[in-house]
Amino acid sequence: MSARSKYPRLSLVADVQGPPVRLSIEIEELVVAGWTGRDLAAVEHHIEELAAIGVPRPSQVPLYYRVARNQLVQGGALQVMGPDTSGEAEFVMVAHAGELWVTAGSDHTDRKAEAQSVAIAKQLCGKVVANRAWRYADVAGHWDRLILRAYIREGGAMVKYQEGPVTAMRSPEALMQGWTGGKPLPDGTAMYCGTLPAIGGIRPAEHFAFELEDPVLKRTIAHGYDVIALPVVN
């Protein structure tokens, strides 16, 4: 009988030249980078957007949050405590076997807890990630063309919640090096790399969907999940 790994596994289908490659990656460290915008005015807008719901200003930008690796999930439903949570579409960098891969994810966060501590709020919700990925080397040359989007179910219909180029955030290299001190991202690390402003303001929804589009190679990584709010009892 083989020994059970102490690390959670991330299962990805990698779209590469030729047949897709299946990756099974042991995640040793999960990092969420916040306040990552290249445009300082946009960063300030996001800070003010969160301040409107009581979130304190960050001590520095960008800021890196360690999250328990077991919080990384890939299913089609996410259970959360109470009604005050919402998703955030992000691109996610994953280091594995000496290579970098990019996928899409949602930094689902407890907004009520965020008013007390962003770090704790990040920890309270699962971090959803898609099940497909691209080799970063295959998109690095046209990285600025990639587009991030999110949709929520609202009033029975899916409405656009976020949209913008990945260039709204700092480059993957800058974010990874900011975390590692200039060293390569260690194998087994997954890093969420920041988000876009919410269209119409941050708010909860019963379903959250996100996608990362590569218009150059004409492909999209997409994923969605139901948000199941559990009762908060005293």
Q: What is the residue extent of each domain of the chain?
A: 23-230
- Report the amino acid identity of residue 133: A
Peptide bond into 62 cis (omega under 30): yes
Beta bridge partners of 127: 72
Torsion sign over Cα 109, 53, 46, 221: positive
pLDDT at 4: 67
What is the model's pLDDT at position 1? 38
What is the model's pTM?
Answer: 0.93
Residue 68 phi, psi (nearest 5): -55, 130
92 membership: H or E segment, kind and range: strand 89-96
Architecture (CATH level 2) of domain 23-230? Alpha-Beta Complex (3.90)
Nearest CA to 26 out of 175, 168, 189, 216 is that of 189
CA 213, distance to chain mean position in Å, is 15
Per-block mean pLDDT, blocks of 10 residues, the chain (234 long)? 73 91 96 92 80 83 95 97 97 97 98 90 96 98 98 97 97 97 97 95 96 98 98 91
How remote is the C-alpha of 155 from its chain's centroid? 25
pLDDT for the residue numbered 233: 92
